[in-house]
Amino acid sequence: MSTPAGWYADPSGEQSLQRYWDGTQWTEHTQSPEAAVPPAPGTSSEAEAFGSGMGQDAEIEASTGGIRTELLSDSRFAEVGSDSRVVRQNSRMLKVMLGEDVLARQGSMVAFQGGIDFDHEGSGAAKFMKKALTGEGLALMRCSGQGELFLADSGYQVHIVHLEGAGLTVNGHNILAFEPSLTWDIERIKGAGMATGGMFNTKLEGTGWVAITTDGDPVVLNTDQPTFVDTDAAVAWSSSLQTSLNRTVKAKALIGRGSGEAVQLTFQGSGIVIVQPSEGRFMPPAA
């Protein structure tokens, strides 16, 4: 007769722990002997506790090296396993398996495992002058070596875009990382004068991947008709699109009755535009 499922003394001999036997084998779930016994197997409450780790209130706590926490038993917090070179660890973090180099935003590394080096990546004299004149920011570091690299930027959401001989124009502040096989340069929006702030963006093209960030869940618009987007909400778009500025300033704005929507980016052609639900986070001035 087989032993019924339930909590039993840990077979390792650790007296301060009980381990759950599922009826056929030991599981990774442990608890202290004083912990309340969970509902009988097969009940809805047990399903919540022993589910895939998605329940916020799961009471199962796994233990490793004398540390017990629900973080170990909740699959949301486990490292993602993948054969892909680049994958989203979660909605706000990127995981890169290094072998070949990667270019990433300076300061975006949050963790790494293995032997990885970080070096300043120069942009060349021409791009340096463009960045100085336009304010379009893309300070890069080259990540090289062997291991697992984790990247993030201020808790923004992370999205991976694969280019197959195409071009993607991105607000430089929204670029997290990309493959060195992609070429990049700073370009000006047509119709925007040199004195117009925020009208310079970074164009990447070639074959490879780029990871971008958005402040919230974006919407991806297919430009099958003229498309207008707030200049601060536009994150990235197909470089093949025709772009210009659309000005909607009315006489009322001169007497303080403006709509607050004076200028938008206009997109025409066949492609996509990625729009974030934010016009940028407010950065208080330095004291």
- Please provide the DSSP assignment of 162-180 as one string: EEEEEEEEE-GGGEEEE-T
What's the pLDDT at 94?
Answer: 98
Tokens, residue 93: 């973090």
Instruction: Please check whether residues 111 and 230 belong to one and the same domain.
Output: yes
pLDDT band for position 51 (cuts 50, 70, 90): very low
- Looking at 33, 59, 77, the residue that finishes a domain is 77
Strand, helix or coil at 44? helix
pLDDT band for position 261 (cuts 50, 70, 90): low
Does 192 have pLDDT greater than 60?
no
Does 264 have pLDDT greater than 50?
yes
What's the domain range around 73? 6-77
Instruction: Please check whether residues 104 and 147 belong to one and the same domain.
Output: yes
- Looking at 25, 57, 77, the residue that finishes a domain is 77
Kindly report the backbone phi and psi dihedral angles of residue 52, in degrees, each rounded to the nearest multiple of 5, phi listed first. -80, 5
What's the pLDDT at 260?
Answer: 56
pLDDT band for position 207 (cuts 50, 70, 90): very high
Per the CB < 8 A criterion, the answer to whether 68 and 89 are in contact is no
Tokens, residue 43: 């009940």
Give tens-digit pLDDT for 96-148: 999 999 999 999 999 999 999 999 998 654 555 444 444 455 899 999 999 99
Q: Which residue has the higher pLDDT, 101 or 13?
A: 101
Per the CB < 8 A criterion, the answer to whether 106 and 140 are in contact is yes
Determine what percent of the chain is predicted with pLDDT higher than 90: 49
The CA distance from 112 to 177, in Å, is 15
pTM of the model: 0.70
Instruction: Please check whether residues 31 and 170 belong to one and the same domain.
Output: no
The CA distance from 241 to 272, in Å, is 8
Q: CATH code at 108?
A: 3.60.160.10
Per the CB < 8 A criterion, the answer to whether 186 and 200 are in contact is yes
pLDDT band for position 60 (cuts 50, 70, 90): confident
In a domain, 285, yes or no: no
How many alpha carbons fall within 13 Å on the CB side of residue 100?
Answer: 9
- Looking at 17, 45, 77, the residue that finishes a domain is 77
Tell me 173's DSSP state. Answer: G
Pairing assessment for the beta strands 219-222 and 272-275 based on DSSP bridges: antiparallel
In a domain, 182, yes or no: yes
Which has the minimum average pLDDT: 135-144, 152-161, 238-247? Answer: 135-144
Strand, helix or coil at 191? coil
Give tens-digit pLDDT for 89-103: 999 999 999 999 999
Tokens, residue 165: 């001989």
pLDDT band for position 156 (cuts 50, 70, 90): very high
H or E element, residue 127: helix 124-134
Mean pLDDT for 156-175 is: 96
Instruction: Please check whether residues 245 and 179 belong to one and the same domain.
Output: yes
In a domain, 230, yes or no: yes
Q: What number of helices (H) and strands (E) belong to the chain?
A: 3, 20
Instruction: Give me the amino acid identity at 178.
Output: F
The CA distance from 69 to 71, in Å, is 5
